Structure 1
Amino acid sequence: MLGYYGSYDVVVCGGGTSGVAAAISSARTGAKTLLIERVGQLGGQMNFSGPPGFSFAHLFNARHEQIIGGFAEETHKRLLEQGDALPHILPKWRSHYTFSYVDPDWWGLLVYQMMQENGVELMLHSLVTEVIKDGNDVKGVVVEHPSGRSIVMGKVTIDCTGEGEVCYQAGAAYEIESKDILEPSTVAFTADGVDWDKVLNYIKSNIDEFLFEQVHIPYNNMTIEEIKAEVLKVTDITEMGEIMGFLSLRKIGVETGEWHNQSGVGFFLMPKGGKILAHFQHSSHVGDADCTDVRDITRVEVECRNQDIIAWKFFKKYVPGFENAYIVRVCPEVRIRETRRIMGDYKIVFEDVAEARKFDDVIGKSAFPTGAKHAVGDKALALGGKAEPKDGGSHDIPYRALVPLGLENLLVAGKAISADRPSHHRFLQQTIVTGQAAGVAAALCARDGITPRELENDVKELQKILMDQGAILYGVH
């Protein structure tokens, strides 16, 4: 039975980081907005399937200029004020890695509050299964939910599904790598009860095992001896940010079969109730899988959990400080790093990132380097090259990368925006930036009766509203 659910100015499909930002920003711009999410939890990779509390890395560039404000900064500030976030962490010796940790569960609670504050209508436990089109014009979507199937009509639809599912159903052009080189996927978990003094002492006593990344930061201008000296001064584990290394322990684990040899050994930090927890986002890596294929994603869910068990037993046995630790949460579904990239009116390419290029239709910035970031073996890392934005700066994200080729009344935000493989914008701070911009753009189009493509002709109002909402578009490298 197919029923009519309603008509909206803006329909946002997907309630992850990009979808949450899109829906709230759309409503703030005056649009009647509906957010459709297939589960009951908002936040996606921020607090459901990904690295909780880590989403706000890289709000600053390597010069420690803040380049991302807007929705990300707003939510961080609100949680910081209520004691559920840590202040921005800007370690001198990790100039291109900055951290702005938040409690992921409180972030999830906050975004529900913000939906109500801004009048966003929610449609949860609902899956978009079809796109309604008239020629190349997207008119709405068909949604399946516990009570059946419904038609939802929208003046503008935003695809925030992560895998570009709505654009795919609408017939959009896209790129995807062969599954043998797609980045691996992960089921993350979090542990408490860690003796952080022991962990920090081990790092300082084996410092060479933890600095392999810092040696290659082009804008750092610090010698390895200076970097070591800075690390030896650290007294608070939060200053470390991401902790990756334990190379000698990993070697033992691989030799004895006690480590699965599919990823590095390490974790992020996560604030929780005034404590710091260890969040394991790297401890399972399952590759050779296309997670748009139900058979592959099912296999990934199973194998990731097998690897998590192996990794946890390894940490408990070998890593100082984890003797009395215990798992407090396992993410309920896999974090998918890479599938489709929807081709748009502009395609962000390697040189745009490496050269820190600026665009007239800028809607946000990113300081994340190019290049695939994870691999099972070296297959994914071998493609595309890796480069930091030059001079410790950032590159602009152009509005046109959010407008799918050949389709009208449709925008894409999040990790599926138009980019080449090395420039894949899958990181959570990037998805929030593009989500916020897509939400404002869709609201303006609905108000003025124009398409997102027609908005390309004049983005000044879009940019003004984004800056009024706290976005940073100008004035930094």
Structure 2
Amino acid sequence: MKSCSRMYDVIVCGGGTGGVPAAVAAARNGARTLLIERLGMLGGTATAALVAPYMSHLAGKKPVNRGLFEEFCGCMKKEGLTSLFRGRLIGFDAEIMKLLLDKFTLTAGVELLFHATITNVIKKGGRIQAVRVFHRGGFETISGKVFIDATGDGDVAAMAGAPFQIGRDKDHACQPMTTAFRMGDINIKRMPSQKKINALYDAARKRREIKNPRENVLWFPTVTPNEIHFNTTRVVGESSVDGWSLTSAEVEGRRQALEMYKFLKRRVPGFEKATLRKIAPQIGVRESRRILGRYILTADDVLSARHCSDSIASGSYCIDIHNPSGSGTDIRRLEIGTWYQIPYRCITPLNVENLLMACRAISSTHEAHSSLRIMPIVWNIGEAAGTAAAMCAKQGKKASAINPALLRKKLKRQGAFI
């Protein structure tokens, strides 16, 4: 196994929705930062799983997800790569996004390592000393002062011995996964309303033409004319933290995507000449591990729009639980114009002194997680984690010992809404 002679201040594990802002924030705050990504591109769910659009970042008309998220959306808008749907949802070009994310990170001074899988951590006492990585050059050990888990599944935290929970309390079942797909060459003018499409879908399910357990058809327009994005497959009973199970999920997700494509062409006006433009390269995962920290965010925190003294990010998205058992979606909304705050304590895992979380796997209940998992909120969580990590590296402190007031002050100066 090769050893890396370089020492990084901050090592970010995962280059997705939380990892990019974490790395950029750490680098901009003076930390020598390495971003390790298992794929050959950044963006995670937005690019590899084709998850879109960015869900609402507004509380009423007030933007509550700002900072680096707002900055990057501005970069995409400048290039003409975004669109608004229902006045609140931000569509984007996932292909060009890959290039813009490269530029966004490299310009900040972040070092990138693609096609690298973290296989284990080296831990001494309560601190991670290094991560063990496998890439095209073989195994390598890379050392750092502070580490950020932006893997989505909490892989690094679990390797380091942080406690975690999975799924809902009664049976540990997680929200289903979804394979997104896109269709083009649609006659949008002939396309029926959502209500009529759902009626056609329901009839097809009753005729057993469709095995997809989802109760309706969920779709969004894209930035490309005459193209529709479908987030409507539903793979239940599988796990993203088990390789065999995840493989089964990928196969079933693509089967459902083809099933839906055939249904739309056969049964829905306007789709007669439609083409299958793209099936997501990998399945979208809503839920897996939730790493326990010094506070566990709850459904009551979300729905009561609770604020806290150590908040580092905010959210206004509803509780949105896709039924782990099959059909049905549990939607519970906040009062219009309100938002909840996410404590710093939720991103500092137990039992690991120099690790921060920057993904959907932060400390929360199954219900609260269903709200905070969306990409705009995770962007802000990542920015907070990266900023805190740079402070830890500079001050030589444990993650839990950072002064939240000073962290909040820095985040506000950076344009974050906390």
Normalised by the size of structure 1, how large is the TM-score?
0.83
- In 1, distance between residues paired with 2:76 and 2:352? 39
Which residue of structure 2 lines up, in the alignment, with residue 4 of structure 1? 4
Which residue of structure 2 lines up, in the alignment, with residue 60 of structure 1? 58
Which residue of structure 2 lines up, in the alignment, with residue 95 of structure 1? none
Q: Percent identity?
A: 33
Work out whether 1:144 is the aligned partner of 2:134: yes
- In 2, distance between residues paired with 1:131 and 1:34? 16
- In 2, distance between residues paired with 1:185 and 1:427? 14
Q: Deviations over 1:184-214 (max 9, x none)?
A: 1122111211111122xx21xxx7x2xxxxx
- In 2, distance between residues paired with 1:321 and 1:465? 51
Q: Of the candidates 210, 217, 222, which is equivalent to residue 265 of structure 1?
A: 217
- In 2, distance between residues paired with 1:291 and 1:337? 9
**Aligned-pair CA distance for 1:371:** 4.6
Q: Deviations over 1:24-50 (max 9, x none)?
A: 111111110000001101000011113
Q: Of the candidates 374, 388, 403, which is equivalent to residue 441 of structure 1?
A: 388
Which residue of structure 1 lines up, in the alignment, with residue 407 of structure 2? 462
Please tell me the residue identity of whatever aligns with 2:57: L
- In 1, distance between residues paired with 2:55 and 2:320? 17
Q: Of the candidates 101, 104, 108, which is equivalent to residue 118 of structure 1?
A: 108
State whether residues 64 and 90 of structure 1, in contact with CA within 8 Å, keep that contact through their aligned partners in structure 2. Answer: no
State whether residues 176 and 322 of structure 2, in contact with CA within 8 Å, keep that contact through their aligned partners in structure 1. Answer: no
Which residue of structure 1 lines up, in the alignment, with residue 173 of structure 2? 181
State whether residues 57 and 317 of structure 2, in contact with CA within 8 Å, keep that contact through their aligned partners in structure 1. Answer: no
Which residue of structure 1 lines up, in the alignment, with residue 201 of structure 2? 250
Q: Of the candidates 294, 302, 312, which is equivalent to residue 345 of structure 1?
A: 294
- In 2, distance between residues paired with 1:374 and 1:323? 32
**Aligned-pair CA distance for 1:333:** 1.0
SS in 2 for 1:265: coil
SS in 2 for 1:17: coil
Alignment of 1:318-337 (within 5 A): 318-337=267-286
Q: Deviations over 1:85-128 (max 9, x none)?
A: 12x5554xxxxxx2122212222211101112111000110001
Please tell me the residue identity of whatever aligns with 2:353: E
**Aligned-pair CA distance for 1:180:** 7.3
Q: Deviations over 1:245-290 (max 9, x none)?
A: 7222012211332222321213122213xx35211121x2111112
State whether residues 298 and 364 of structure 2, in contact with CA within 8 Å, keep that contact through their aligned partners in structure 1. Answer: yes
Alignment of 1:51-90 (within 5 A): 51-52=51-52, 54=53, 56-61=54-59, 63-86=60-83, 88-89=84-85
- In 2, distance between residues paired with 1:312 and 1:111? 31
Which residue of structure 2 lines up, in the alignment, with residue 225 of structure 1? none
**CA shift in 2, pair 1:143/1:318, >3 Å:** same
**CA shift in 2, pair 1:25/1:335, >3 Å:** same
Q: Deviations over 1:213-271 (max 9, x none)?
A: xxxxxxxxxxxxxxxxxxxxxxxxxxxxxxxx722201221133222232121312221
- In 1, distance between residues paired with 2:267 and 2:320? 32
- In 2, distance between residues paired with 1:103 and 1:50? 10
**CA shift in 2, pair 1:138/1:331, >3 Å:** same
SS in 2 for 1:132: strand
- In 2, distance between residues paired with 1:260 and 1:332? 22
State whether residues 139 and 409 of structure 1, in contact with CA within 8 Å, keep that contact through their aligned partners in structure 2. Answer: no
**Aligned-pair CA distance for 1:4:** 2.2
Q: Of the candidates 333, 356, 360, which is equivalent to residue 309 of structure 2?
A: 360
Q: Of the candidates 217, 227, 249, which is equivalent to residue 277 of structure 1?
A: 227
Which residue of structure 2 lines up, in the alignment, with residue 414 of structure 1? 359
SS in 2 for 1:344: coil
Q: Of the candidates 94, 106, 109, which is equivalent to residue 104 of structure 1?
A: 94
- Write 1 or 2 for the structure with the bigger share of strand: 2
**Aligned-pair CA distance for 1:78:** 1.5
Moved more, 13-22 or 253-262: 253-262
- In 2, distance between residues paired with 1:68 and 1:13? 23
Please tell me the residue identity of whatever aligns with 1:462: L
**Aligned-pair CA distance for 1:468:** 2.3
- In 2, distance between residues paired with 1:170 and 1:139? 10
Which residue of structure 2 lines up, in the alignment, with residue 222 of structure 1? none
Please tell me the residue identity of whatever aligns with 1:108: K
Which residue of structure 1 lines up, in the alignment, with residue 378 of structure 2? 431
Work out whether 1:43 is the aligned partner of 2:43: yes
Q: Of the candidates 235, 241, 264, which is equivalent to residue 286 of structure 1?
A: 235
- In 1, distance between residues paired with 2:377 and 2:64? 11
**Aligned-pair CA distance for 1:149:** 0.9
- In 1, distance between residues paired with 2:178 and 2:331? 22
SS in 1 for 2:89: coil
- In 1, distance between residues paired with 2:355 and 2:285? 23
SS in 2 for 1:271: coil
State whether residues 403 and 452 of structure 1, in contact with CA within 8 Å, keep that contact through their aligned partners in structure 2. Answer: yes
**Aligned-pair CA distance for 1:165:** 0.3
Which stretches in structure 2 are left out of the alignment for 5+ residues?
A: none
- In 2, distance between residues paired with 1:324 and 1:109? 31
Alignment of 1:20-39 (within 5 A): 20-39=20-39
Q: Of the candidates 318, 337, 346, which is equivalent to residue 369 of structure 1?
A: 318
- In 1, distance between residues paired with 2:283 and 2:331? 26
Work out whether 1:400 is the aligned partner of 2:390: no
- In 2, distance between residues paired with 1:26 and 1:75? 16
State whether residues 129 and 144 of structure 1, in contact with CA within 8 Å, keep that contact through their aligned partners in structure 2. Answer: yes
Q: How many residues are paired up?
A: 413
SS in 1 for 2:307: coil
**Aligned-pair CA distance for 1:311:** 0.5
- In 2, distance between residues paired with 1:311 and 1:421? 29
**CA shift in 2, pair 1:410/1:100, >3 Å:** same
Please tell me the residue identity of whatever aligns with 1:332: P
- In 1, distance between residues paired with 2:263 and 2:120? 45
Which residue of structure 2 lines up, in the alignment, with residue 212 of structure 1? none
**Aligned-pair CA distance for 1:80:** 1.1
- In 1, distance between residues paired with 2:406 and 2:190? 53
Which residue of structure 1 lines up, in the alignment, with residue 157 of structure 2? 167
State whether residues 371 and 421 of structure 1, in contact with CA within 8 Å, keep that contact through their aligned partners in structure 2. Answer: no
- In 1, distance between residues paired with 2:31 and 2:410? 13
Which residue of structure 2 lines up, in the alignment, with residue 221 of structure 1? none
SS in 2 for 1:472: coil
SS in 1 for 2:121: strand
